[in-house]
Structures are given as C-alpha cells and as structure tokens.
Amino acid sequence: MRKASLHSRHLRACRSTSLLLMLPFALATAQAQAQEAVDAPVAAPAAAEQPVEAVDAVAEAPASSNERINAEQADAIISARAADAAAAAADAAAGAPSAAVVPEPASADAVAEAPAAPPAPRPLVVPVLANQDNAIERQLGARCPNDLAARLASQDNLLVGACQGVMPSHLANALKAIPEQQLLLPRAARERQLGQKAWFKAVPGYGVRPDFIAVQNGLWVRSFEGADASTTVYLVSGPFTCVDGRYPDGNAGKTMRLSTGSCREALVEQRVYQVTAGGAPQDITAQVMPAQPLLSDVDKKRYGVEGTGVQLDPGKLQYGPALRWYADVSAEGKAEPRTYGEWGRLHLGFLVWTGERFEPRDTVPRGLWACDPVAPGDAACSGYADAGRDPFVVNSAAVAGQSAAP
C-alpha cells in the first residue's frame, strides 16, 4: 500500500514537472505567433487565439489539487503572456498603414507653381470734357469751324472739325525738346514749322488740364494728362528711323521725305515721351507701349493681308485715349470673325491709355471709340471710318457721335 502511494505521488510529481517544463515552449510559441501577427496584421486575432488552445490542452491533463494549482498558475502566466502578445499585435495592426492608396496633399511649392487665374481687366473710365462750341480752343486764339462743311472737314484722317491756330505751347515745347538723334527733323526747322498754324482740338482726359491733339505737316502729337499736374505724357508720330530707301516694297510702313538734315527718308513711327516739371522729354515707349502685334505667314495668307501689314489707327484719339491695331485684308475674301467695317480690315486689338500706360484690350466701349459726326439726316455711325459691323466696340447704343449742326 505504501509502495502504491509513493508510486502515485511520483507520477503526479512527474506530471507537474512535465507541465512546468512545457511552459517555456508554450511561451516561445506565443511570442512567435505574436511576431507573425505584427508582420501580418490581418492574422493577429488567430495568432492571439493559438496559445490559449495550447494551454487548454495542457490544462486538461488530470491532476490533484496541488497539480491543479500548479497548472492554474501556469495557465495564468501563459494567458497573461498571450494577452500581452495579442495586445501588441492589435496595436501593431492598428498602426499599420492601409493597403488603400491615399493621395498625398500637394506641397506648398506645387501649389505655388500652379498657374493663377489671370485677373479680370479693370473697368475702363470714359473721360468727359465740357467744351461747348470749342470754347477752350477759342480762348487759345484759334479759329474754329462755324458751318457744316468746316465741322465735317477732316485733317490727315486724324481730326474732324478741328480748330486752326498756333499749337498749344506745351505741345510745341515738347516737340522742340526731343533730341535730333531721335526725331529726325533738325531743331531749327522744327521751330520754324511749329511757329506756323496747326490744326488741333481739346480732348477729354484724366487730368486737371484737358488733353490736346495737334497735327502739322506730317507731325502729330497727343497729350495725356494724369493725376500729377506736373507730369504730362506725349504720344508723338514723326520721322524717327532713317531708312533712305531701304524699304522699296513699302511693307515697313509709311515713310517721310526730309528736306533738311543728314537723313533724306525716314520711317514714321510713334513714340511716347514724358515731361515732368518742364524738364527734358524722356522716351518711355518701352515702359508704357505694348509691342506691335505680329502676323504669321499663315495668318497673312488666311486673311489675305495686303499693303503695309500691321498698322495703328489713331483716328479716334480726338475723342478719347484709344488707338487700334489693324491690317488691311482682301475685300474679296470671306468674312472672318476678326474682321470689321466695310473696307476689309482685320482687328488686332486696342490700346487704351489708363493714366499710367497703354493697356491692350480686345474690346472697348463706344464712349472710347466714338463715331465721327455726320450730316443731318444721315444715320449715326455711317461715316467712312465707322460704316459696317464692328463687334469689338461694345455698348453701341451708348454715346454715338453727335450729328453736326449748321
């Protein structure tokens, strides 16, 4: 009996020892499965369950109360280690990046490089001038039109119904002061010419003093006043580039023959000068005047461009601060969206003085491109320069040119 009891105790001790010896292997298995859970987050729950099943299999072995205590302690230790491993696996799974592709937010540099939408052009202001019956020109001693024929008379396709007299002094002084190396007309000849009568008009502007435009023997000048009364800008058209017959085809523009000076033939161009507080004129053409638009050979062929190519129309400077780029095209060609008028002209854009610079515009209001006066009974805007469709002059019902009265 005593031998049987000792044998039974020996068996139970062996089982407990076996159970304790299995503990490190179970822990190692749990740690390995937890590491697999970290590497594969989706399989984490299964990895967490596997050590519990192994412990249950060990705990099912029959044991006495002491054996059950040892087994329960081992079970608690293994379960705690397994729970810690499962929690670590869950944390790793939660922190793992998703397989879905999430676009990264644009960097600040990328946002900065993105092209910004061009700002909307600011509204154009139409200047006005109270000058009933040419009162301003008459005060300067000019002889102004008093009948219908004089009011409809045109001077160099630039002025209609102009007054005649000595050019306003600030215009004449600006022309005299331009260096001879630029305006290719000797100063002495200039002074003699400017002492004679010229055709001129007062024009609405943006300054305290009205703007003026004057034409004399192939020269014309248009003043632009601004907020600073001490500064005036002058747009001058005259012989600026000596060619001496180097453009026999005439496609470079209008030329002028000079009777004095070293140059005998010069290209007529437009340049912009600024005079501040009576100082010398400063050429600011490059700063305030956009470059002339260019036509490719394809465009010339498509539109049938004729003559001198691109030209500048100053005919409306007598009404407001706007010019127009255009090209003569074949009258036999089909109508194009960019053509206007009855005489076959291709519209290339406007230049509008804003008080600081000439700004390119594709359209202008009628107030900046007024129609020439017409005889009583004729339809408004039916004169030579205004006849036909012109989709680039908007609000055509506003401020059309007034009819001349006898």
- Top-confidence residue, 270 or 17: 270
- Name the CA dihedral angle for 46, 52, 53, 55, rounded to a multiple of 10 degrees: 150
Confidence category of residue 29, pLDDT binned at 50, 70, 90:
low
In angstroms, the first-to-last Cα distance of the chain is 155
Task: Give me 199's structure tokens.
Answer: 């055709």
CA 212 to CA 200: how far, in whole Å? 7
The predicted pLDDT at position 336 comes to 79
- Top-confidence residue, 277 or 405: 277
Q: Are 196 and 216 in contact (CB under 8 A)?
A: yes
For the range 15-19, what are the long-range contacts, defined as Cβ-Cβ under 8 Å and sequence gap of 24 or more? 15/61, 15/63, 15/67, 16/63, 16/66, 16/67, 16/70, 16/71, 19/58, 19/61, 19/67, 19/70, 19/71, 19/74
Task: Give me 296's structure tokens.
Answer: 């490719």
CA 139 to CA 210: how far, in whole Å? 13
Confidence category of residue 106, pLDDT binned at 50, 70, 90:
low
Query: Is pLDDT above 60 for 243?
Result: yes
Q: Which residues contact 210 (CB under 8 A, 6 or more apart)?
A: 129, 131, 136, 202, 203, 204, 225
CA 279 to CA 273: how far, in whole Å? 11
286-308: pLDDT as tens digits:
999 999 998 888 888 888 887 66
Helix (H) or strand (E) holding 73: helix 65-95
Tokens 């400077």, residue located: 317
Q: Are 206 and 355 in contact (CB under 8 A)?
A: yes
CA 222 to CA 199: how far, in whole Å? 12
Q: Which residues contact 15 (CB under 8 A, 6 or more apart)?
A: 61, 63, 67
Confidence category of residue 40, pLDDT binned at 50, 70, 90:
very low
CA 53 to CA 33: how far, in whole Å? 13
Confidence category of residue 14, pLDDT binned at 50, 70, 90:
very low
Strand bridging mode 265-276 / 197-203: unpaired
Across the chain, mean pLDDT equals 77
For the range 96-103, what are the long-range contacts, defined as Cβ-Cβ under 8 Å and sequence gap of 24 or more? 96/41
Q: What is the DSSP string of 290-341?
A: PPPP---HHHHHHHTEEEEEEEEE-TTTTTSSEEEEEEEE-TTSPP-TTEET
Burial level of 136, CB count in 10 A (0-12/13-18/19+)? buried
- Residue 61 to residues 6, 16, 72, 248: CA-CA distances in angstroms? 20, 10, 12, 119
356-372: pLDDT as tens digits:
999 999 999 999 999 99
Strand bridging mode 393-394 / 364-365: parallel
The predicted pLDDT at position 25 comes to 47
The predicted pLDDT at position 1 comes to 47
The predicted pLDDT at position 52 comes to 38
